[in-house]
Structure 1
């Protein structure tokens, strides 16, 4: 009887003890268009995750289902939540024009098109973002020159479940901005720690994962199994292995160069051998875009010619740029087109009364064009030669041709020694000399001025008194 009682007692203890040992699940699975938001450990056992909460990725919204899974009998339950792309709806009403939609869902563009006779002022297109259509609605104005503002390329805020940004949080991430990520306590970073906003609006390399530390590091691996494959700069693992943390002996994983990078040397593979991954020899280098093109009457200023670099078009003096001035080195080469440099033009000058242009010169009057005037009647007042400057303005106002005559100058007891001709016109000068024995009061030389008078006033001659 005692023997039976002891057997039953020890069996119950064993069953009770086994019931206290929780079934442990591996890394939570990944689902399309979702991100892990939170992981809740089992009560009293901080290293074992019991429940995982998901959320829809940026640009997606929850359509149906429950957004959590649980660890049951060593396996994760299936996520029933589904996420669909956000719909931005209408991009707005464009008066005297319309929007040409490539779509109205997240990532789609709506190009602004003006009716004939109207020109676009503002952003040339709007992009469907997580918060709605980007930018403001442009305007279509009658006539005039287009003033198109290129849409700025930005990256969405990097969101990694159980991750924390070390760099300062900003509202807008522009091309070449960088952020540094670390994982919350109890989680290990798998992937790149520093991310850079690429010219295509995507983070490079791709977002990393923060996986439970105990599941990856502390969980003992059976004879010869491997953990997370090694991180490789500017490269990523194939889709099948990104969220996996346990690999058997002989398992081979493949790396691929990230967008904008190309294989320079080495092999794409690493193999699990005796609990260790063989060294990854792959080296990914930035793609080269080469020359951004040749600009007539201008040139490109490069930050470089590799992926992520820019080339800015600059026109020579007296020329203005038509088109987009900046080209970005993308995954498939330089974006946009080679801009054009057109000569600056000056407006047609008004006609000069009683004057004419020397020679025959028809508009347009481009940079460095020289115009020379002459008077048919009267004298030329101002500059006879004008040239079109680099700013599209004339070097001086047009001259005037004025028929200005001064009365014949008479000075008693004096004679003219210079300037004796008729008629006496604007700019003519005459000089007087008093008769012998006389002295002169005032200047001896006077000039015909714009108002038809002599400047300064005519002199006088008086007898010399001893």
Structure 2
């Protein structure tokens, strides 16, 4: 018989593991014992040797008590105890969450029909709707034990100030939560708490106290000679505090001016680097001056004792110290001088005048000003002065003198009011002649600004007598006929009543002694021709003379009527009576229309008769409506007929959506409307976000160039003491970059990051810190154990689902993908990942309802898609004359409906709506008409499986091709068994979709793979199954160490005693044991070279000594995880690597 394992594996060291077995002689056993009411699996007459076994099964109506199998032992006897078959059931099922009542605890046999009762274990509470019992059934098995006890729930743990709590699974009994601190804080207390039973045993509470997050602080920053820092007045220096150093004047700063408080171990605060230094004294470069220079232009460093001299440009003078010296304090001996120009003072003012430079502040050489005088004054001298180079004005200054008129002289006359010596501009004098003389010219004159009289001074000439004024028939003169009249005198005539004056009413006595001609006359009075009126006329058109009392009557043109009194008459004054009548009727200018304008023939016309029709032409951007005339007509009520919309807006072509973007139609596609362009996540718009349907000549088109959607660009990631996997000039959305540290540095953070839509890297760019091993600090004990951080199941989204709904926990970095139900589309990133903090990345995507592609029988859809977003427009054109004619538009609304409702094109057979099914849906929920050839696809909810034909189509006869399918609940049968392992928990014959079962291994075996499997959608169990492998520890090869037991691998619990080779001494415990985690406890000790052996080796020579020491230093050992890799053993390695308990 085989003694040892029946199989072995060739290992990397060239040895077989486990060791090759041996075959030893088999020992015979007597026939297996006879068990009442049982049947063995082998004939009783067979030969049985050690290692063979026989299995018993009970007769119908009996149940097995004990182990069903007996084994032939090496002693030649059958294993004990023997099983037995009893009527009824054996010991009831042992449950994780409940225990049998005391009355049944020690009972091992139960009759059919017996019901036993359980009580919930501590930490569990009774489920109110489920009975805590099981019953012995007729097939001698116990009924399924439902989960009638549920785990109690702890309250949600409070988060520490400056920290957070991570729920690893849930808040039920037995679960744990982890605590972490915000950056810059350290954890004091336990990093993990467990939901456990309270002291009374009735409630569950969190173990221990809430840990505290204390701020990490640094020691005060070091002082530096010849300098200071900004932290002198600070009380403490917490994490991220920045202090800045400055040097005394004249001492240059070398190094980083600012350092900040950080941490390397997560507990203690350290400064980010050494402080800067302040160098020897020197001056900063001397300041530059305007309009000047200094002698040190070519000098780079100005040490104490050096001098510079300043000088000015031509036309400027130096103000201040011309020479500056660099002092020992690092400062210049005096302020820099200034170069000031030679300026002129403000120009002088002159009396009764001004200049044009009063608003000027500075007068540079060459600047000029112009002088002018006030009215009534004259400028004497040069009107323009200049600022000279020596800072003075050109002279002399001009002056303003008053302008006067001399006394006017007139012979045979005088100035009324007397003479004056001078007259100022604006003075007016009046002239008069002596008796016997008459004034020839104007009787008054004004003194002008140029010193002259205007008009010119008149003259007095002798007067000439005239005879009496002539007698005019039917007229009366204004003077008595017996008066004396001389030249210059006049007489005025007025006509008697009934007569009108013809000619000038006044006559003058001229210098020749005669009256002026022609004489006026008084004729019989008459009115002028009657006035004409618009759109009308008067009678008596043949009359030429209209005497007082004569009347005329007005009448209007056709379409007009008289407003007011129709007749007027000639009055005694020779005028027609008022008011005049007027003709009204007709219309004013036609109405202005935004979509059309009047034709040229009517543009300047303002009045129109009743019945007149005017014509319009369409404005740019509009086109004629074929069924409506482009006219309006003047109606009898003097208004224009209603202007119908005979011009309709032209339509722009459907705008093309940018790649990685979409077009949102705000209203329609007609002239004047606008559309917006938006980009998908991770892209940004380049160009105008809105475009308008605009006019270009006679056509309409979208304004501007179409925008584009470019991927957002993230900053180039930089990592000190490390390198990146891909070097590019720019990194765009969803680009990933991996990092690797230089030798001697360790990556802190994630080694791969991705460019996100907000132009940041997610997770953040890691850093490379000096040291050979990553560390994780969670509390002051400086443990290097990395906590197991996992995410809870990802959140659900409305009208959608994620790809991992069978999993219970998720490791860091795990991805889940979201998808939407039919009729919905995904907004946002389709995937999220589990972050290092045990939470899912944000934001979540969402499912928005869309409009399903419209089905149109006997017609066509222009712009056909499978799913439309709100705002999208479709155009439907019917083929049949029975349906709506023309092109019909409908827009997808936010609720998944079409507005206006989709038209129905009649004239072709169509199918009724496909039937709805329980626990499922079909793809045609939003479709109005199902034409022949159209199909719908059915889908089931996640816990159900589709039975029947998933896709059915509408036939030419107007009926569906197949009956609708049904959705049945998914079930899995008993899960498979695994070698050296067993199923744990409640096990039944069938399991619903999504249920999970767990496996565990027998003692001495370790589980490889996922412990749980799920019932899949297909009704099968998820693969692969876990497996149980024997636990074996590998003994490391360490120089100088030897063991008392042969072999390289050892089973769980094996103890090995260690010794050292001659000349070496054991450091540590000599006996070690193989543990469940494949490690040795305590760790394998080292053998160090003894003193005596070292002396002997020294005598053999330096070369031999070096070789031996090198050999000792080049020891290797293997780990379970990387068995094929040899790790050197040295003093650093021994400090870094140890087995975790």
Please tell me the TM-score bracket, short chain as reference: 0.3 to 0.5
Larger gyration radius, structure 1 or structure 2: 2
Bigger fraction of residues in strand? 1
TM-score, scaled to structure 2 = 0.21
